[in-house]
């Protein structure tokens, strides 16, 4: 872990790392129903969502667990098609994953067999960039997230927070004008999480993108966002759109101010069915997905399956034998 990296010479201007202008987004009348497989009942997940986001704005989506926040983010990313309404980025309708959008998932989702640098180059390879351009851009991005020295490390050797930084660098690879983050730091401990939130704001200041993030932490939403959009339980509707008039650049000490507390209370008042007990119960349930025995967990969450063990294997590392 490192302190927030100092801006480097090549990053003096926002345009060195982004287009300098974030994308404007318009969601109008978004509705989505999941049709259950094998006759299971259909679930209405999103209902009549209208939302307009200005360029360079930071918007936090917050709502009870399972309300459809992540689903809404996937619709915005073009990964899921809404069955009502339209999504448009800078006036163009989104129907499939869009090159102007960079997505950061809850888990780093790195390719375990590639180095950090090669993971960051992954989107550029897919986009058919030249090797020189890939290398230069990956080097810039790793510098931006303070990970140059880990360029050749494999994800398996990095800490959870460092992996998530690699995944943020990867999301920035194609110079997106909109970054979507799906509970990006929820797996990190509270202190690391605060520092990452601060780093995210510094990145945002330098890259000039629009940011939409999903979170279930009220203080986090208030600290990061210009607007906190509160969603109802399923089917998700917008129940409140709260403007956060906190000056930027923000500091961690802002989190302790009375102003933030009163805003947080305002957000909480709009959250239905999320008493502290309900949140705790829901989080406990999320920790172990239904139908999984704890014994299955490490395997399920391993990034790749281990190979079949060898009958006779003189090359095995000593500690295995």
Partner 1 sequence: MTAARHPRRRRLLGTLSPVAASLAVFVVAWQLVVFVSGFPPYILPGPLSVAEAFVRAWTDGTMWPHVAATLVEVLLGFALGASVAIVAGIALARSPLAERLLSPYLVAAQATPVLALAPLIALWFGTGLPSKLVITTLIVFFPVAVATMVGIRSVDPRLLEMARSFRASSWQTVVRVEVPAAGPVILGAMRVGVTLAVIGAIVGEWAGANRGLGVLINEARGSLFDIPLMFAALLQLAIIGVALYLVMLFIERRIVGAR
172 is written with which tokens? 């920035």
Q: How far is the CB of 32 from partner 1 (least distance, A)?
A: 17
Can you tell me which of 81, 112, 280, 286 binds partner 1, judged by CB under 8 A? 112
Q: How far is the CB of 266 from partner 1 (least distance, A)?
A: 33
Q: How far is the CB of 13 from partner 1 (least distance, A)?
A: 26
| Rounded distance between C-alpha atoms, residue 154 and residue 299, angstroms | 19
Query: Where is 254: in which H helix or E strand?
Result: none
- 16 touching partner 1, by CB under 8 A: no
Sequence-ordered list of residues with C-beta below 8 angstroms from that of 126, at least 6 positions apart, any chain: none
| Rounded distance between C-alpha atoms, residue 212 and residue 27, angstroms | 13
Nearest CB to partner 1, comparing residues 77 and 142:
77
Can you tell me which of 154, 206, 250, 268 binds partner 1, judged by CB under 8 A? 154
> Parallel, antiparallel, or unpaired: how do β-strands 58-62 and 227-231 relate?
parallel
- Cis before residue 235, ω within 30 degrees of 0? yes
End-to-end CA distance of the chain: 33
Nearest CB to partner 1, comparing residues 6 and 305:
305
Q: How far is the CB of 307 from partner 1 (least distance, A)?
A: 3
Q: How far is the CB of 114 from partner 1 (least distance, A)?
A: 8
Burial of 58 (0-12, 13-18, 19+ CB in 10 A): buried
The answer to whether 130 and 180 are in contact (CB under 8 A) is: no
Q: How far is the CB of 8 from partner 1 (least distance, A)?
A: 26
Nearest CB to partner 1, comparing residues 29 and 160:
160
The window from 61-69, 101-109, 140-148, 274-282 that contacts partner 1 (CB under 8 A) reads: 101-109
The answer to whether 270 and 239 are in contact (CB under 8 A) is: yes
| Rounded distance between C-alpha atoms, residue 89 and residue 98, angstroms | 9
Nearest CB to partner 1, comparing residues 57 and 107:
107
Instruction: Please give the angle made by the CA atoms of 61, 96 and 185, to the nearest 5 degrees.
Output: 35
29 is written with which tokens? 């009348």
Q: How far is the CB of 113 from partner 1 (least distance, A)?
A: 5
Nearest CB to partner 1, comparing residues 17 and 227:
17
The residues in 159-188 that bind partner 1, with binding defined as CB under 8 A, are 174
The residues in 258-317 that bind partner 1, with binding defined as CB under 8 A, are 303-308, 310, 312-315, 317
Can you tell me which of 30, 61, 77, 168 binds partner 1, judged by CB under 8 A? 77
Name the residues that contact partner 1, by CB under 8 A. 77, 79, 96-97, 99, 101, 103, 105, 107, 109, 111-113, 122-123, 125-127, 154, 156, 174, 303-308, 310, 312-315, 317-318
């Amino acid at each position: 872990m490192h302190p927030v990296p100092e801006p480097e010479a090549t990053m003096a201007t926002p345009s060195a790392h982004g287009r300098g202008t974030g994308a404007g987004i318009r969601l109008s009348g978004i509705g989505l129903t999941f049709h259950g497989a094998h006759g299971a009942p259909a679930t209405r997940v999103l209902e009549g969502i209208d939302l307009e986001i200005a360029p360079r704005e930071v918007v936090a989506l917050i709502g009870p667990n399972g309300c459809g926040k992540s689903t809404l983010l996937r619709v915005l990313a073009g990964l899921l098609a809404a069955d009502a309404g339209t999504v448009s980025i800078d006036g163009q309708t989104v129907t499939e994953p869009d090159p102007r959008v960079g997505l950061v998932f809850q888990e780093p989702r790195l390719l375990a067999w590639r180095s950090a640098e090669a993971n960051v180059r992954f989107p550029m390879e897919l986009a058919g960039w030249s090797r020189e351009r890939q290398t230069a851009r990956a080097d810039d991005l790793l510098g931006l997230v303070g990970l140059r020295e880990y360029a050749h490390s494999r994800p398996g050797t990095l800490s959870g927070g460092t992996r998530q930084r690699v995944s943020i660098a990867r999301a920035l690879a194609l110079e997106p004008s909109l970054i979507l983050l799906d509970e990006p730091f929820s797996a990190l401990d509270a202190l690391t999480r605060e520092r990452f939130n601060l780093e995210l704001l510094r990145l945002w200041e330098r890259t000039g993108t629009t940011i939409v993030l999903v979170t279930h932490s009220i203080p986090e939403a208030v600290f990061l966002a210009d607007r906190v959009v509160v969603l109802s339980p399923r089917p998700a509707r917008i129940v409140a759109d709260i403007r956060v008039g906190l000056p930027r650049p923000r500091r961690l000490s802002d989190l302790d101010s009375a102003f933030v507390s009163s805003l947080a209370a305002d957000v909480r008042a709009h959250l239905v069915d999320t008493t502290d007990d309900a949140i705790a119960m829901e989080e406990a349930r999320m920790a172990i997905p239904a139908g999984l025995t704890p014994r299955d967990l490490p395997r399920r969450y391993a990034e790749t399956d281990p190979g079949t063990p060898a009958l006779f294997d003189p090359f095995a590392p000593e500690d295995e034998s």
